[in-house]
Structure formats: structure tokens, C-alpha cells
Structure 1
Amino acid sequence: MMKVGLLPAPAAPLSPYWAAYLRELGLTPEAPALSDAEALALGAQSLPGEAPTVQLALGRVLALDRVDAAVLPEWPAVRGDAWGEALTELLPRRISGLPTLLPVPERVQDLTELETQAAGLGLRVAQNPGGVRLALERVRPLAQPRAVELPLLTRASRATVAVIGPRPLLMEEVLAGGLRPALEALGLHPVFSYEVPYPEARRRAERLEGFGQMPAGERELFGAASLLAGKGAVAGLLLVSPARDGATRAALGRLAAGLHKPALLLDLDAGEREWPELEAFRDRLTLGARGRDTAPASPRAPGGAE
């Protein structure tokens, strides 16, 4: 039986499913032996020119102690996002000596397809068909998405700002942990795109021009932004991209071009705690300034009030 690592993935709704599944197969999933900050530093040393999300993922792989394979939940990719589309293929090309990287779905799209992929993973790491069938039955309840309600959009004496960005960035404390406190210190009430119920974001994205050609990550970002921008309580939108991630930056630029409310594009690098441009943006929202930030032209994404 293989020795398997499972990377932490706060942004992946199915993380508890994969952890439980590996345990049901008789495995003890190995976790990285370093803290997130240490893993990030290790990844940044190895791939200094890449986005912090990529650096963190690599650092966590490098921090696994002598495993045969590492299970990584997939990322929701945007257009032109090579890392999001093929992280487990690109990392071994850039860094030698990595364990076998096994991608798994990060969200339920179809239970049958999920269990087909889970069965393939189980046979590869445990080589016990009977055990795989039993494990799939036992963890099936964990595949059901957890019900999530739309967060409160108002807070006394504060302007509400929707914070739109990829989950692998915004849900990692070591990467984006300083953003919420910075916004609150400016007297703003931030509502993050990952807090929006995914079914609602997807339904909203289905209304957008070009929906059929949008990759999964772009649908999620555009849907959450359109939904939140349509709420009267939301004064403006902060569109957050990982530093050195041109594909996500371009996707958010396309999104900004179709909004009818003030928007600010912000690159976020690991460890940042202060963003001078946020104060001016706060003033635009609280003093009633109008207009929008410059962004590349693109098909419009609905963002008017409902």
C-alpha cells in the first residue's frame, strides 16, 4: 500500500470527503511537516516568479515527508490559466523529485462522475477493489454540498464592499489574512465572493454573455460579482488577483469592464498587510464618487441593481 499525502485545501469543499475516503481505505493521509508560512517560503524559494497560490501549493508538496503520492484538489481555472488547468502536470516539469501528484475534484458536479474518479484513485493507492466499494459507500454522505446562506450585506455605519477573487487565494489565511482587517480598519464591511452560495453564483453566471465558453473559475467569479453587484447594499467591488497571475488579473479586468458600480483591481502578494489604494477607494464609496476603474474591454457582465 502506498504512503499518500493529502494537501490542506481550505478552498476545496470536498477536502473532508477526500480525507475520510483515504482513511476508509486504510491509509493515514500524511500532512505537510511545515507550517503554511514555512511551506510558502519554501515554494517561493523554488519558484520565485510564480503567483503565491502556486508557491504555497508547491511548498506544501515539498513539505510532505517521503510519500509515494500526493493528493491535490483541483483548482477552478480562468481563461488562459495554465496552472489552474494543469497544476499536477506542470509542477513536476518545473521541480524534479516530486512525488506522484494525483488531482481530485474539488467540488461535486455529478456524484457518479465523482465516485468514478474516487474509485480510480482508490484502486491506485490501495489496490483493493472490495475496500474501494465499501469506502465509497461510507463517505457518500460527505459528497453532499453543505447548505450555505448569503451573508449579511449590511453593517451599521459602514459601506459594504464585495471582495471578488479566487478561493485558493482569499481562503488561505497565510496569503490573504490581512485583507479583511485592512478593510474593516477603513470602516468598510467586506463580503467575500467565497461566502456566496455556489448554486446562486452559478445561476447568476448563466445569465451572462459567453457563459458557455467560460471556464469554471471564471463562471464562479463572474457569477458572484454579478450577484453581489446587483444588491443595493453593495457600494462597490474590490477585485483581487494573486500577484504575478496574469490570467486571473485579465479575467478580473474583463469582469470590471462590465460593472456598473465602482470597482478596484488589486494584486495581492503573500504577507501584505497594507494597501494605500484602499483608502482612496473607500472615499469613492463613502463620499458618493462614481465612475469605474480602467479595465480591458470585454463583453458586459450584468452588474446593475436588481
Structure 2
Amino acid sequence: MKVGLLNSPAAPLTPYWAAYLKELGVPTQTPALGDAEALALGAQSLPGESPVVQLALGRILALDRVDAALLPEWPAVAGDAWGEALSELLPRRISGLPILLPVPERTGELDALEAQAAALGLRLSQNPGGVRLALERVRLLAQPARTDLPALSRASRTTVAVIGPRPLLQEPVLAAGLRPALEALDFYPVFSYEVPHADALRRAERMEQAHKVPAGERELFGAASLLAGKGAVTGLVFVAPARDGATQAALQRIADKLHKPALHLTLDTPGADGPQAAWPELDAFAERLASGGRVRPANSPASDGESGA
């Protein structure tokens, strides 16, 4: 059985799964197209869905003659059908896809990860002894890298926290234009995915009935709350995929809980010129922060996601 690896830069466990399948002797293949071409393919097939879904589909379609593909399971927000069951929904919408095998995209509990990896390995290789040996050999790759909170200030620039799902913000083919657009206005952006994951989850424990909140929403709240609590951070920029009402609603709920100036942006599927690189509302937000948060952007009413200063 040949297995496709999608190699998302937003999935820290990608090297783990690649090494694990190699140890099992399972042949693998990566998409035959670059990310921009794969995204265009996915957008053509599912034009009404978010760019995150389109990119995942495009990478699957760009696999050549594989029997199955490993699909990272992204943490979902409330009401996010795609995030909760991407591997089940895609074959219902697109015929002829390989078998989609959902796998964790990052390490949680090591025992739980290895249990899932063992089940996958047995399905692919039918070799219990080989599975045990392979798990031992790749165990170090499952250890999360140690990270620290990035620097929160830079001389002569205004620090803003940029909050959004990792499968959106960490994909250059989708979000490459965002940082330059912010820096052009003398913003210093700190992205939510740069917050150590464990720190974000600890902060999320402050949510009311946190155990009932979906994992993706907890992660986003934890990162946003931690950054909003830093004096160097003057404002919050929430970024959701276009045509993703669940994520947009989740980010609005998070913004409503915090007390710094906030702006909501959507990031759409790239056009012929590449990733989206212009958001007119950023100019008004920069003006607002420069005036101490007192001026509300003319084209961004309070109900559109501005929280109080």
C-alpha cells in the first residue's frame, strides 16, 4: 500500500509520520504539485469552501496513484463541521479520493499518540513486531520542541497580536501577504502560533466551563488571552478563513472576552497575483492604535469585532 504525505508546515508531527512509515517499510509519496497549484486545484473542486479546506483537498488531489493519505486532524471550533470530520466529509463531496487516514497533527499525550500510531501501523503493515520496533525508533521525533514566547516589542513599531487558526496562518501559500501588510504600517506582529502550545492551553483553563469548549477554540482563546495580557501588545488582529463562519464566530466570541482594541480580517484564496496582501481596514486600525485606541475605524462598527480599549 502506497501512502500519501501532505507535508503541511502547520503540522509539527509531519516528520514523525514520515519516519514512522519509512521504518515500517511503507512506500510514501508527497504531492506532485507545488502548494499554489494544489490550492488552485482544490479551489476549482470546492469553490464555495474555505481556503484551508481547499488546500487540504488540493494536496490530496495532487498525490499520484496512492492507496491512502494521512490527513492531519486539526482542532476544531464550535460548529466547525470540516474541522470535526474532514476525513469523512471530503470523500462525500469529491469522488475517487484515496482512503483518508486521520492522524494527530501534534503531540498530546505520548501514550495516546503511540496507540493511534500502532493502530495505523497494523492497518498498513500487518506486522505487530515491526510496529513495536518502528515506534521505538521514532519516539524522539514525537517529543514537542521546546519553545519560548517570542519578543513582544521592536523599536519604533506598534505590537499587535495576530490570532487565527494554524492551518491558515502557518501556510505561506495562504498567509504570506499578511505579515508584510502589517509591517508596512509599522506594526510588529506576534502570531498566535508563536505562543508555546502548552502555555496557550494552560491559559485556556481560565475559560468558563473550559472542558466543554472545543479544542481549537480553547487554543485560540489561550493564545489571544495570554498575548492580550501583555502590556507591549496594543491591539489584536483576528484572522479567519473566508467562507468559514464557524471560525469567524469563534474569533468574535474570543474578542468579546478581551479588553484591547480588536480588528477582524478574513483571508481568502489567493488569486493570480498570489496570496492576499491588502486589507484596507488595517489603515484605520493603525490610526486607532496611534490615537490610543479611542478612534473607531470608519468602516468597522462595534458589532464587526472591535472590543473596547
Matched residue, 1:281: 285
- In structure 2, the residue matched to 1:139 is 138
1:256 and 1:295 in contact (8 A); partners too: no
Q: Shift in Å at residue 113 of structure 1? A: 1.2
| Residues 103-151 of structure 1: per-residue CA shift (max 9 Å, x gap) | 0011222111111110111111122111111000000111111001100
Aligned counterpart, 1:12: 11
Q: Is the Cα–Cα contact under 8 Å of residues 176 and 270 in structure 1 kept in the other structure?
A: no
Output the aligned Cα RMSD. Answer: 1.7
**Is residue 70 of structure 2 the alignment partner of residue 71 of structure 1?**
yes
Structure 2 residue 262 is the aligned partner of structure 1 residue 254: no
Residues of 2 paired with 1:25 and 1:276: CA distance? Answer: 51
Distance in structure 1 (CA, Å) of the matches to 2:303 and 2:255:
6
Deviation of 1:290 (Å): 3.0
Instruction: Report the AA paired with residue 200 of structure 1.
Output: D
Distance in 2 separating the partners of 1:36 and 1:13: 18
Q: Give runs of aligned pairs for residues 145-160 of structure 1, distance below 5 A.
A: 145-160=144-159
Question: 2:287·2:295 contact (CA, 8 Å) conserved in 1?
Answer: no
1:48 and 2:47 matched: yes
Q: Residue in 2 aligned with 1:177? A: 176
More moved, 160-169 vs 19-28: 19-28
Secondary structure at the aligned position of 2:29 is classed as coil
Structure 1 residues 197-225: Cα deviation after superposition (integer angstroms, max 9, x where no partner): 01111111101223111111001100000
Distance 1:162 1:99 in 2: 39
Match of 1:290?
294
Question: In the TM superposition, what is the alpha-carbon distance from 1:62 to its structure 2 partner?
Answer: 0.3
Q: Distance in 2 between matches of 1:112 and 1:158?
A: 44
Quote the offset at 1:296 in angstroms.
8.2
Q: How does 1:47-196 map to 2 (within 5 A)?
A: 47-196=46-195
In the other structure, the counterpart of 1:245 is 244
Pairwise CA distance, 1:12: 1.4
C-alpha separation in 2, matches of 1:28 and 1:160: 46
Q: Are 1:174 and 1:270, in contact at CA under 8 Å, matched by a contact in 2?
A: no
Distance in 2 (CA, whole Å) between partners of 1:267 and 1:236 is 17
Structure 1 CA distance for aligned equivalents of residues 121 and 244 of structure 2: 33
Deviation at 1:294, TM superposition (A): 2.8
Q: Quick one: distance in 2 between partners of 1:149 and 1:289?
A: 29
Deviation of the 1:73 alpha carbon: 1.1
The answer for unaligned runs of 5 or more in structure 1 is: none
CA deviations 1:248-295 (Å, max 9, x no partner) are: 000001011112100001111122111110111111112212377634
- Aligned-partner residue type, residue 287 of structure 2: D
Which amino acid in the other structure matches residue 276 of structure 1?
Answer: P
**What's the TM-score, normalizing by structure 2?**
0.94
Q: Residue 288 of structure 1 aligns to which amino acid in structure 2?
A: G
Distance 1:224 1:127 in 2: 41
Q: Distance in 2 between matches of 1:97 and 1:137?
A: 35
Q: Which moved more, 1:23-32 or 1:188-197?
A: 23-32
In the alignment, structure 2 segments of 5+ residues that lack a partner are: 271-275
The SS at the match of 1:148 is: coil
Corresponding letter in the other structure for 1:219: R
Aligned to 2:215: 216
Counterpart-to-counterpart distance in 2, 1:254 and 1:207 = 15
**SS in structure 2 at match of 1:153:** coil
The one-letter code matched in structure 1 to 2:261 is P
* Partners of 2:132 and 2:14 in 1: CA distance: 19
Q: Distance in 1 between matches of 2:206 and 2:303?
A: 22
Q: Distance in 2 between matches of 1:227 and 1:184?
A: 22
Q: Is 1:254–1:296's contact at 8 Å kept on the other side of the alignment?
A: no
The percent of aligned pairs where both chains have the same amino acid is: 73
SS in 2 for 1:156: coil
CA distance in structure 2 between the aligned counterparts of 1:166 and 1:227, rounded to whole angstroms: 16
Q: SS of the counterpart of 1:163?
A: strand
Q: Are 1:262 and 1:291, in contact at CA under 8 Å, matched by a contact in 2?
A: no
